[in-house]
Amino acid sequence: GSTIGILGGGQLGRMLSVAAARLGFKTHIFEPGANPPAGHVADAVTTASYDDHGALLRFAKSCDVVTFEFENVPTAALDVIEAQVAIRPGREALRISQDRLTEKEFLQGLGLTVAPFADVPDAAAMQIAVDTIGAPAILKTRRFGYDGKGQARLRSADDAEQAVADMQGAPAVLEGFVEFSHEVSVIAARSPEGDVACFDPGENVHRDGILHSTTVPAKLSASQRMDAVLMAANILNALDYVGVLGVELFVTSQGLVVNEIAPRVHNSGHWTQNGCTVDQFEQHIRAITGWPLGDGSRHADVVMENLIGDDMDRVPELMKERDCALHLYGKSDTKPGRKMGHVNRIQRG
Q: Among 26, 34, 76, which Cα is nearest to 56's? A: 76
CB 198 within 8 A of CB 229: yes
Q: Which of the ranges 62-70, 135-143, 237-245, 252-260 carries the binding residues for Mg ion, by CB under 5 A?
A: 252-260
Q: Is the dihedral of CA 214, 217, 218, 219 positive or negative?
A: negative
Annotated binding site for ATP: 100, 140, 145-151, 175-178, 183, 206, 259-260
Query: 127-166: which residues touch Mg ion (CB under 5 A)?
Result: none
Annotated binding site: 100, 140, 145-151, 175-178, 183, 206, 259-260
Task: Tell me whether residue 17 or residue 185 sits nearer to ligand ATP (CB atom).
Answer: 185
Report the DSSP beta bridge partners of residue 240: none
- Tell the smallest beta-carbon distance from residue 208 to ligand ATP (Å): 10
d(CA 22, CA 306) in angstroms, rounded, equals 24
- Tell the smallest beta-carbon distance from residue 223 to ligand ATP (Å): 23
Task: Tell me whether residue 80 or residue 126 sits nearer to ligand ATP (CB atom).
Answer: 126
Q: Give residues with Cβ within 8 angstroms of 222, minimum separation 6.
A: none
- Tell the smallest beta-carbon distance from residue 260 to Mg ion (Å): 5
Q: Among 277, 306, 115, which Cα is nearest to 204's? A: 306
Q: Give residues with Cβ within 8 angstroms of 219, minimum separation 6.
A: 182, 203, 251
Q: Using CB distances below 5 to 8 A depending on partner kind, what does residue 209 bind out of ligand ATP, Mg ion, none?
A: ligand ATP
- Tell the smallest beta-carbon distance from residue 183 to ligand ATP (Å): 6
How far is residue 319 CA from its own chain's centroid? 27
Q: Which residues bind ligand ATP (CB under 6 A)?
A: 115, 138, 145-149, 175, 177-178, 183, 206, 209, 248, 259-260
Provide the 10 A C-beta neighbour count for residue 284: 29
Q: Using CB distances below 5 to 8 A depending on partner kind, what does residue 147 bind out of ligand ATP, Mg ion, none?
A: ligand ATP
Residues at the site binding Mg ion, with contacts judged by CB under 5 A: 248, 260
